[in-house]
Amino acid sequence: MEDSTLCGLFNWRPKFLQPLATQKAYLLVYSLLGIIQGMSSSYLSSCLSSIEKQFGVTSSDAAWTFSGNEVCQILFIFLLPFLSKIKKRTKWTSITLVVSAIGMLMCALPFLLKNKDEYKDGWNVQHSSASPLCIPGEDVKKHCTANSVYDWYGLLSIFLGFFFVGFGTSFFHSFGIPYIDDNTSKKNSPLTLGIASASRMLGPTLGYILGSACLAIYVDPGADVDLVEGDKGWLGAWWLGFIVIAVLLVTIAPFLALFPERLPGDQNTDAFRASQNAPEQELNSFTSYWTDTKERVIRLGRNKVYVYSSLSTLSFLLAIVGFGTFIPKMFQYVFGQPASSSGSVTGLSKALLSAIGMIGSGYVIGRFRFTARTLQTWNVVVGFIMFILITAVFQIQCPVELSVYRGACNNECVCQDSNFEPVCSEDGVTMFFSPCSAGCKKSETIFVEGNPKGVVVFGDCNCVAEAALTLNTSTDQQWWNKQTSPVGASSLPHPSGSALSVSSSVKMDSAIDGFCPADCDGLFYLTLGAMSIISLLGSSTRVGSVLISLRAVDPADKSASLVIMVSLLSMFGFLPSPLIIGKLLDDSCSVWGENCGEKTSCLLYDNVKMKRNISIFVGIFVFIATLLDIGAWWHCKDLRIFDDEEKEDATVMSPTPHIQTQDNQKKKEYI
């Protein structure tokens, strides 16, 4: 057996490894690495709001910080002229995945190198000797002392970390998918690609679960703090998951390097046919590299199916990537879901159904051997359905809109506007920026069942009565006794230590510490169900789209087509989409956090404005993607997905004239 089909590294190719030189073994290792790769992006998404809180940055700043992966993939296009030199694709993919592991560790460095004393009393808690109550004439600003939360060196470390992650992402997709397709017969390719793609969907599921588990742990696990999630000063262990993912990558990635240049056995594959062709003349000068690259780009640029499919994917990702990145944060604020669960619940439903859609569609396509036009017709139909569903989902709105009441009732109070400590009127619907802004002059702690720390109730609040008259609201005395800790609710220590029984009467001028209750669980699960359907439908088109893109190009241009695709999608999709969605989120902020006058992350959003702006952006580009799919449908009528049954060893006919020429048939190579 020739060395190009033997497992091992360099001259070490022991016999006990050779039984592993199979498609199933490679698919297992590749799928495991796909799961880990998928975990990194979803883990980041689930921890996004906590990372913003850690570094005191806006959503736009966070999007720039995490763009290192996309910047690396954009630069990856400069490797295009040297693809013909890369023969052992599995080895280089393995090496770059180890580099990705190093990048993951760099993302955790800002915490590992930080002074842990800053976490011992809770994160970013402003220390003030002044009372949070309304004290006429008292200038509370002079009492505020707090450390700056900005850490630009930490943000730079995360940016560089994700830049290194981009190396592994680029090689894993650009070389991994062609390797699978090249070493698989056309009849088995749909199911194989479906399994490989589904693994990258299972990864986000585990990433969301990992994020949920980490955020349920205090940021400094060794600190002795009396805090639970939702308390002021709570910050989840956002850094922990990066270390877990790095360890998994380093453990499994080296096994990928042991696989050969091509797998032995099946002769009805592009890899075998390429090995039988005479090798091309070696490129040995910059001019020859440039000429070869230019010819490849021209061939791909003239391929209308490839161009329309690529542009459709680009438009769709521009709409979805940023939305997917920030969706746990949106659910946290729109539906009042805790940070630790908003990501995991969303990810489980989305990723699991996506995996089912990919594997199921791969099996169905291989079983019924659909034509390219049939596959593209399904893409168009799903595009229009997704446009309608996405538009409908954004119309679902929690009936209790969290907004801050402001009036002239607290003019006698000198309040610190940078101290956002929300309190809610006893009517359960009117919220105030702080006890001081509500005009409250006293407070006491009421102990209720299920809340051993007690509920802080503020009294003699001038603005509560005014708001009740202005907004025509009525008393709901027991809502604070029924709620289970709204997102962001704080538990301020009571200065006097006095307590009242549950049966004590709360006067109409009282306010309760924390956010007003918003029971939106029903609408949240309705939205989750609709998003799950969208994920299932969208994933059912993935395998067909990949097959069309691979079959539309010359086999020698597969890796080149994916390299160009990865770079362009990163430049015009993955990079700008989170930045645009982050800017739309920032524009929807109604209350910005401040740390003794230093602006930090957003604390409260105008949910109606947020959903309206994002829905317009997402809807427009999903619709454009569907129109481009129609263009691909029009030009793919002659494209063959499968070889003829009578001629399993025949090459796949391209729908474009430039691939069918005799000259181009002579230029096939195995990269």
Inform me whether the pLDDT recorded for 343 exceeds 90. no
- For tokens 């998918």, the residue is 177
**Pick from 259, 253, 256: which is nearest to 102 by CA?**
253
Q: Which residues pair with 598 in a beta bridge?
A: 595
Task: Please give the residue that has the higher pLDDT: either 223 or 131.
Answer: 223
Could you tell me the end-to-end alpha-carbon distance of the chain, in angstroms, rounded to an integer?
20
| % of the chain at pLDDT higher than 90 | 15
Range in 395-409, 517-531, 628-642, 645-659 with the lowest mean pLDDT: 645-659
Where residue 546 falls among pLDDT bands split at 50, 70, 90?
confident
pLDDT of residue 268: 67
CATH 1.20.1250.20 placement within the chain: 20-114+151-398+522-665
Average pLDDT over residues 379-387: 93
**Pick from 545, 411, 408: which is nearest to 467 by CA?**
408
| Other CB atoms within 10 Å distance of the CB of residue 209 | 20
Q: Average pLDDT, whole number, for the chain?
A: 77
- Cβ neighbours of residue 666 closer than 8 Å, sequence gap 6 or more: none
Inform me whether the pLDDT recorded for 96 exceeds 60. yes
pLDDT in tens, 163-180: 999 888 888 887 888 888
Kindly indicate whether the domain formed by 20-114+151-398+522-665 is annotated with CATH number 1.20.1250.20. yes
> What would you report as the CA-atom Rg of the chain, rounded to the nearest whole angstrom?
29
Where residue 216 falls among pLDDT bands split at 50, 70, 90?
confident
What is the distance between the alpha carbons of residues 109 and 515, in angstroms, rounded to a whole number?
Answer: 34
Q: Is 456 helix (H, G, I), strand (E, B) or coil?
A: strand
Contact between 31 and 196 (Cβ < 8 Å):
yes
- For tokens 């982050």, the residue is 582
What is the distance between the alpha carbons of residues 615 and 633, in angstroms, rounded to a whole number?
Answer: 27
Inform me whether the pLDDT recorded for 622 exceeds 70. yes
Where residue 666 falls among pLDDT bands split at 50, 70, 90?
very low
Range in 68-72, 74-78, 330-334, 495-499 with the lowest mean pLDDT: 495-499
Q: Is 3 helix (H, G, I), strand (E, B) or coil?
A: helix
**Pick from 244, 332, 259, 236: which is nearest to 22 by CA?**
259
Provide the residue type at 413 as one letter. Answer: C
pLDDT in tens, 553-610: 887 787 788 778 878 888 888 888 888 988 888 888 887 776 666 666 777 788 888 8
**Pick from 248, 218, 216: which is nearest to 235 by CA?**
218
pLDDT of residue 247: 96
Inform me whether the pLDDT recorded for 422 exceeds 60. yes
pLDDT of residue 633: 94
pLDDT of residue 480: 66
Average pLDDT over residues 99-113: 93
